[in-house]
Structure 1
Amino acid sequence: MNPNTPGFASTEFAYGAGHVDPIAAINPGLVYELDKTDHIAFLCGLNYTSKTLQLIACEAVVTCRGKTLPRNLNRPSMSAKINGYNSSYTVTFKRTVTNLGTPNSTYKSKIVLDLGAKLSVKVWPSVLSFKRVNEKQSFTVTVSGNNLKLNLPSSANLIWSDGTHNVRSVIVVYIT
């Protein structure tokens, strides 16, 4: 479909993923890290049984110490299914990034809405200042809006930039 067609909204699903830049991959700036406990909390949030968790984790005993909502799994992309047609919504995503760039670096957030996106995106804090490499900092993204169209997601990009690195995260909200 032509993106210039009336009623067509450009979303994250309207184009390919692009090419990997191997030079940039060596020096990413910020990364979203996950470990085994993050995955177990995610599966606990999906109400997996203890027996299934033991099989997946290859451990004799697995305990759910917390439940992570699927939208809060610490990955670069953020997506949420909105309940309710033609209604207002607010969704919050929690993320943590690790500085693999340089010490004493500051990343500023920028939101880029995709064509036709009818949403508001707020990032708090909007600036992350790191004193050292491997330092972790958390932030929250709040997305709000109303009147999403059925089967037509709204999307935006969050870009963290220190002037050298541009770390992009996709944000998608949809109803089905």
Structure 2
Amino acid sequence: MDPAKNSDAELAYGSGHVNPVKAINPGLVYDNAEGDNVRFLCSIGYSEEKIRAISGTNSSCPKTSPLPRNFNYPTLSALVKADGSFTVKFQRTVTNVGVATSTYNATISSSPKLEVTVIPQVLSFKTLWEKKSYNVTVTGKALAKMSMASASLTWSDGIHNVRSPIVIHTYISSTRAV
């Protein structure tokens, strides 16, 4: 997806594009703890009634919900205030389910509106099921109201390409902006 050619950029492609053959052997996965999906739905404004209908459980929302961007999900997305520069930080943890001894290198594809840094830029695994964390910092100048800028992060070991969309937006939401 090239933001210069498609104004919807990451939102036109999303993280939901699935290649069934590659899905069998993804290389890296983003684990969720029990209850993470319910807490995520709470953080983006779903009512307990809707969450219970979706989950089929008697779930309830915590008194304080973390920001949606803080969930360990492949997509990195944040609401920022319009017309002001911003810095948004994300932390993610991946689990190696590919080759026991493997090294993944980070590659960023970005809109000129964003500066994206990843630390560390290399993840080296020695065993299967080993977990590694990384941090992403996205900075930018003011975005107009009701706009977005996007990028993507791809971790590659030469066999697997694990792609994470990055979307920074100013769309009106019930969640809190940076």
What secondary structure, in the 3-state scheme, does the structure 2 residue paired with 1:36 have? coil
Match of 1:127 among 119, 122, 129: 122
Structure 2 spans left out of the alignment, 5+ residues: 172-178
Cα deviation code 1:67-108 (max 9, x no counterpart): 53210111111111101x321100111111111101111111
Structure 1 spans left out of the alignment, 5+ residues: none
Give the equivalent residue in structure 1 for 2:134: 139
Residue 165, structure 1, aligned to residue 160, structure 2: yes
For 2:64 and 2:134, the matched residues in 1 are separated by 19
Name the aligned partner's letter for residue 66 of structure 2. T
Asked if structure 2 preserves the Cα contact closer than 8 Å seen for 1:88 and 1:147, the reply is yes
Q: Structure 1 residues 64, 108: closer, same or farther in 2, change over 3 A? A: same
TM-score, normalising length: structure 2: 0.76
Give the length in aligned residue pairs. 168
- Decide which moves more: 153-162 or 123-132: 123-132
What secondary structure, in the 3-state scheme, does the structure 1 residue paired with 2:118 have? strand
Name the aligned partner's letter for residue 97 of structure 2. L
> How far 1:62 moved relative to its partner?
7.4
Q: Percent identity?
A: 45
Q: Structure 1 residues 34, 16: closer, same or farther in 2, change over 3 A? A: closer
Q: Structure 1 residues 81, 50: closer, same or farther in 2, change over 3 A? A: closer
Asked if structure 2 preserves the Cα contact closer than 8 Å seen for 1:113 and 1:155, the reply is yes
Name the aligned partner's letter for residue 154 of structure 2. I
For 2:89 and 2:34, the matched residues in 1 are separated by 23
Give the equivalent residue in structure 1 for 2:69: 71
Rg larger in 1 or in 2? 1
Match of 1:90 among 72, 76, 87: 87
Cα deviation code 1:117-158 (max 9, x no counterpart): 401001111111111111111111110011213222100000
Match of 1:108 among 102, 105, 108: 105
Name the aligned partner's letter for residue 145 of structure 2. L
Asked if structure 1 preserves the Cα contact closer than 8 Å seen for 2:15 and 2:165, the reply is no
Cα deviation code 1:38-59 (max 9, x no counterpart): 3355467569999998996846
Q: Structure 1 residues 133, 87: closer, same or farther in 2, change over 3 A? A: same
For 1:51 and 1:16, the matched residues in 2 are separated by 27
Asked if structure 1 preserves the Cα contact closer than 8 Å seen for 2:99 and 2:128, the reply is yes
What secondary structure, in the 3-state scheme, does the structure 1 residue paired with 2:86 have? strand
